[in-house]
Amino acid sequence: MNSVFRILFLLLLLFSASFGATSSSKVWDKGYTFLKFLETYNIPANVYWSLYDEDKELTAEIYAGVRYYTLIDSDNSLLQALIPLNDEVQIHLYKDSDTYKVDFIPVKYFKSNVSIAIAIQKSPYQDIVELTNDTNLANEFINIYKNAIDFQKSVLKNDKLALIYYYKYRLGRNFGNPEIKAALVETNRNPNFLFAYNDGKYYNEKGNEVTGLFFQSPVKARISSRFSLNRMHPILKVRRPHYGVDYAAPKGTKVKAASNGRVVFAGVKNGFGKVVEIQHNNGLKTLYAHLNSFSVKKGQSVKAGQIIAQSGNSGLSTGAHLHFALYKNNKPINPLSNIKSTTSVLSKEQKNEFLEIAKVYEDKLKVAIMDNFSGYTPSYFAQK
Ligand SMILES: [Zn+2]
């Protein structure tokens, strides 16, 4: 073998060794859909169409801006894709010999707990941003206190503020929004505590709700399926989340806006059929799916109770129902715990559970304050 051939041969070896599967991450574009994704990678659309209705509905949860991961083989075929639906669950699409399979699996992430304490100088918002560089966190803080404190009137310079929150990261990146677990703001040396409970709402140290997310029911109909993060499907016998509430509304039932807001989507989404989405205050969004028709358009402002659509069974092979969902910063939360007609007071059992959580966090807030301002033990802590 002459030397040129030998070098070429070596190069070829090197190439084939480095041309293994390549992984990459991208951001989901606005308007991109799971079906278009399949098309991009030359995967038969049948992979989508053969899914159960429930699973089609889940693929419609993918939102613009989310970061997803692909693993591409040396022959350019997709080996695997991981596409998050939210912070907790992702689509796992993978090659299985000559065909592709779809599954829904938990997102693996790390949680990082952070406590901060600040002596307010400019405003709670500005001071939080200056310390953490996180406008999402500052916005969330302002949102949860919106109904409790008028910061401009009540907060004085050097009043203390403490926050315990966590953020999630995976594969070396932050993702999702920071979640505030507990917060404290002094006004006039009095404490204003807020603690998160597992219903997505905030309560003060006595267990009284303060965030006041008040939605009204979008239809008058029996509930046929509730919100669940891990429901066992009665027929399929698989665990699947259900990110909304189903109302057994006959086709043609009037659908009303659950609260004041602005229509951000009115159209067709695979898996949801005809859909209306309304953006409300505080990063909240409601979604109304499987509609027969809708009477609003994108950009339009709507009032609570205004008729926006008629229910139906678009995008479904089964019967008519309204799928109603509520999201906070793209995270699905239980609409029923935020609807006016349902009680906004914790049951005795819930309250006991909440008070125990609150006690733990109150101590953590105390530590955060005392660590940051040595020698400062506010009287409201000492009283306990
Ligand atoms: Zn549903």
pLDDT in tens, the chain (384 residues): 445 545 545 554 444 444 588 999 999 999 999 999 999 999 999 999 999 888 999 999 999 999 999 999 998 899 999 999 998 899 999 999 889 999 999 888 888 899 999 999 999 999 999 999 999 899 989 988 887 888 888 888 999 999 999 988 887 777 778 899 999 999 888 899 999 988 778 899 988 887 666 788 999 999 998 898 877 666 667 778 999 999 999 999 999 999 999 999 999 999 999 999 999 987 899 999 999 999 999 999 999 999 999 999 998 878 899 999 999 888 898 888 777 655 567 889 999 999 999 999 999 999 999 899 887 888 887 655
Is 218 a member of any domain? no
Residue 119 shares a structural domain with residue 62: no
CB atoms under 10 Å from CB of 125, counted, come to 15
How many angstroms separate the alpha carbon of residue 32 from the centre of ligand 1? 22
Where a domain ends, among 106, 130, 146?
Answer: 106
Is 285 a member of any domain? yes
How many angstroms separate the alpha carbon of residue 326 from the centre of ligand 1? 12
How many angstroms separate the alpha carbon of residue 54 from the centre of ligand 1? 7
Residue 326 shares a structural domain with residue 351: no
Where a domain ends, among 70, 88, 106?
Answer: 106
pLDDT for residue 168: 86
CA angle 331, 332, 336 (to 5 degrees): 140
Q: What is residue 93's three-state secondary structure?
A: strand
Is 157 a member of any domain? yes
Residue 252 shares a structural domain with residue 274: yes
How many angstroms separate the alpha carbon of residue 67 from the centre of ligand 1? 25
Q: Of 63, 51, 138, 146, nearest to 101 (Cα)?
A: 51
Residue 189 shares a structural domain with residue 276: no
Q: Of 209, 212, 187, 204, nearest to 124 (Cα)?
A: 187
How many angstroms separate the alpha carbon of residue 313 from the centre of ligand 1? 11
CA 92 to chain CA mean position, Å: 18
How many angstroms separate the alpha carbon of residue 324 from the centre of ligand 1? 7
Residue 262 shares a structural domain with residue 248: yes
Is 235 a member of any domain? yes
Residue 373 shares a structural domain with residue 319: no
pLDDT for residue 20: 81
How many angstroms separate the alpha carbon of residue 323 from the centre of ligand 1? 4
How many angstroms separate the alpha carbon of residue 161 from the centre of ligand 1? 40
How many angstroms separate the alpha carbon of residue 11 from the centre of ligand 1? 55
pLDDT for residue 170: 80
Q: Is residue 280 packed enough to be buried (19+ CB in 10 Å), middle (13-18) or exposed (0-12)?
A: buried
Number of domains forming the structure of the chain: 3
How many angstroms separate the alpha carbon of residue 246 from the centre of ligand 1? 5
Strand segments (E) across 171-238: 173-187, 190-196, 202-203, 223-225, 228-232
- State the residue range of the domain holding 252: 223-338
Is 6 a member of any domain? no
Amino acid at 29: D
330's tokens = 């793209």
How many angstroms separate the alpha carbon of residue 243 from the centre of ligand 1? 7
Is 121 a member of any domain? yes
pLDDT for residue 7: 53
How many angstroms separate the alpha carbon of residue 381 from the centre of ligand 1? 46
How many angstroms separate the alpha carbon of residue 59 from the centre of ligand 1? 13
How many angstroms separate the alpha carbon of residue 128 from the centre of ligand 1? 38
Q: How far apart are CA 116 and CA 118, in angstroms?
A: 7
Where a domain ends, among 85, 106, 127?
Answer: 106
Residue 135 shares a structural domain with residue 150: yes
Q: Could you tell me the CATH number of the domain that includes residue 66? A: 3.10.450.350
Is 212 a member of any domain? no
Q: What is residue 185's three-state secondary structure?
A: strand
For tokens 């596409």, name the residue: 83
Residue 253 shares a structural domain with residue 332: yes
Residue 114 shares a structural domain with residue 87: no
Residue 257 shares a structural domain with residue 333: yes
Assess contact for 104 and 62: CB atoms under 8 A: no
Residue 78 shares a structural domain with residue 102: yes
Q: Could you tell me the CATH number of the domain that includes residue 314? A: 2.70.70.10
Q: Is the pTM of this model over 0.85?
A: no
How many angstroms separate the alpha carbon of residue 245 from the centre of ligand 1? 6
pLDDT for residue 18: 47
How many angstroms separate the alpha carbon of residue 137 from the centre of ligand 1? 31
Residue 270 shares a structural domain with residue 230: yes
Is 64 a member of any domain? yes
Assess contact for 149 and 204: CB atoms under 8 A: no
How many angstroms separate the alpha carbon of residue 101 from the centre of ligand 1? 23
